Amino acid sequence: MGRGFLPNGREARAQLRELVDVRLHEVFDSLSPADPPEAISYLFRGLYTGAGAGVEIRNTRVRVRDATGRLLGSVVLSKPAVGMAALTRMAAMGDVKHFERMQRVAKPGRRPAAVLFADLEASSALSRRLSTAGYFSLGRRITRAADQSVIDAGGLVGRHVGDGVVAFFLSETAGSESAAARACIEAARSIGKAMAGVAERSDLAPEDLVMRFGLHWGATLYVGQIATSGRTEVTALGDEVNEGARIEACATGGRALASKELLERLEPDDAAALGLDPDRVTYPARRPAHGD
């Protein structure tokens, strides 16, 4: 108990004694008041409740006094759980708006969204043709270009599997279902165009990098953030995710296939901006895959 925190030490001590179990009064009476240290550090262990991940943050509490030595209060300084080198890297390479969109899905929930699947076609042949280091550099360039296209379109980057990327375009962040569908299509087009630059930097011909795209709408997607000690990732569950993956698998030859559910979300203005007329589009039937 610190005298510096109590205007009337004797009265406060008596009030505090009444709150203590009578069986501990003897122990309580043997204690002597002492001022707390001017500064103390402690480790805060809590829960990042949005994503369900534990956190550890080191805090330092410093007592603040005026020129006469009178206590004014305390200041708590929190040290980030990561070092400055890691923070600098995240700040330099990360996109603030994308981080904000990720934060909005920290708590999982039902969120209507457009789903984009993109994958490199004939990647096995390229991996055999290029050196291991060269193929790794190529994969890194493809991932960076794809992620940037998704971020620029206002989407959320999902998981990466091999040479593929999954992205989500939420109606709540885009402003409407039509805007989310438009952003999904724009991102697919942007990724396709970016591959020419990736090919050039990788000493490949443009036709060596063929991406296939599957675009679908998820009306009942369950979207959220998964945070662990090793990574933070946005993911989604729902039959529409699996359907989007099947659509992408059918988009051979560098095509971008969009489902009827996605295209019919487009309002006239967004459709016109994309050069599409959903009212005049016809949809070929997809041949059922094995097990469908």
pLDDT at 53: 59
Q: How far apart are CA 118 and CA 180, in angstroms?
A: 17
**Looking at the domain that runs over 95-280, which CATH code has it been given?**
3.30.70.1230
Whole-number pLDDT of residue 4? 44
Q: Which residues contact 27 (CB under 8 A, 6 or more apart)?
A: none
pLDDT of residue 51: 53
How many beta carbons lie within 10 A of that of residue 151, not counting itself?
Answer: 18
What is the location of CATH 3.30.70.1230 in the chain?
95-280
Q: Please work out, in degrees rounded to the nearest 5, the angle formed at the alpha carbon of residue 142 by the alpha carbons of 134 and 204.
A: 50
Q: What would the CATH number be for the domain defined by 38-93?
A: 2.10.70
* Cβ neighbours of 146 (radius 10 Å): 29
Chain centroid, CA 195 distance in Å: 24
CA angle 154, 206, 282 (to 5 degrees): 60
The answer to whether 234 touches 157, Cβ cutoff 8 Å, is yes
Q: In this predicted structure, what is the pLDDT of residue 248?
A: 94
Task: Give every strand in the sheet of 164-170, ordered side by side.
Answer: 156-161, 164-170, 113-120, 211-218, 256-258
How many Å apart are CA 195 and CA 258, to the nearest integer? 20
Q: What gap in Å lies between CA 76 and CA 199, rounded to an integer? A: 51
Q: Residue 42 forms beta bridges with which residues?
A: 59
One-letter amino acid identity for 83? G
CA-closest candidate to residue 123, choices 142, 96, 150, 144:
142
Q: Which of 286, 194, 274, 278 minimizes the C-alpha distance to 245?
A: 286
Asked if residue 274 lies in contact with residue 153, where contact means CB atoms within 8 angstroms, the answer is no
- Burial string for 116-127 (b: 16+ CB within 10 Å, else e) reads bbbbbbebeebb
What's the burial of 51, exposed, middle or buried (CB within 10 Å: 0-12/13-18/19+)? buried
Which candidate, 165, 186, 183, places its Cα nearest to that of 173?
183
- Asked whether 235 and 244 are in contact (CB, 8 A), the reply is no
Only one residue has tokens 């039902």, namely 110
Q: What is the pLDDT of residue 2?
A: 41
* Residue limits of CATH 2.10.70 in the chain: 38-93
pLDDT tens, N- to C-terminus, the chain (292 residues): 444 444 466 788 888 888 999 999 999 889 887 777 888 888 877 655 555 556 677 889 999 999 998 888 899 988 776 666 766 666 667 788 888 888 888 889 999 999 999 999 888 889 999 999 999 999 999 999 999 999 999 999 998 877 889 999 999 999 999 999 999 999 999 999 999 999 999 999 999 999 999 999 999 999 998 877 667 889 999 999 999 999 999 998 889 999 999 999 999 999 999 999 888 888 777 654 444 4
The pTM (predicted TM-score) of the whole model is 0.72
Q: Is the dihedral of CA 188, 190, 195, 198 positive or negative?
A: negative
